[in-house]
Amino acid sequence: MSDYSVKELIFNHEKAFRSDKAVGVEAVIQYHLTGDEGGDYVIYIKDDACKVEDGTTDNPTMTLTADGRYFGDVLLGKEDGMKGFMQGKLKLAGDLNLAMKLTTFFKMG
């Protein structure tokens, strides 16, 4: 993969957050990652800020499930998330409109 663990990439969401692209957005996103670099993470977007925590939450706005290493490659731009969704490598539940906008909320590279 890279010099970064998937967990580091997830927690980097806070620094990579582009509040100008998420004005007025209020969302709770659950990442459920499986495999070698699996884990559960909750991303809170509210009041033009982003906060990441380990763990799970009840009633997220959207849930994303994927293999941890694969999702790390999506975050790094090495894999196409839309293609992964179509191939069943990345599963989404909840607000799919939010899922489509999610990539614009973060500047990972």
- Kindly state whether residue 21 falls inside one of the protein's structural domains: yes
- Mean local confidence (pLDDT), 36-62: 97
pLDDT digits (tens, 9 = 90+) for 66-109: 999 999 999 988 999 889 999 999 999 999 999 888 888 998 65
What CATH number does the domain containing 66 carry? Answer: 3.30.1050.10
Residue 70 lies in a domain: yes
Q: How many structural domains compose the chain?
A: 1
Domain span at 60 = 6-105
What pLDDT, on a 0 to 100 scale, did the predictor assign at position 4?
Answer: 81
Coil, strand or helix at 1: coil
pLDDT at residue 21 greater than cutoff 50 = yes
Would you tell me how many other CB atoms lie within 10 Å of the CB of residue 60? 20
Q: Looking at the domain assignment, is residue 1 inside a domain?
A: no
Task: Give the tokens for residue 68.
Answer: 């941890």
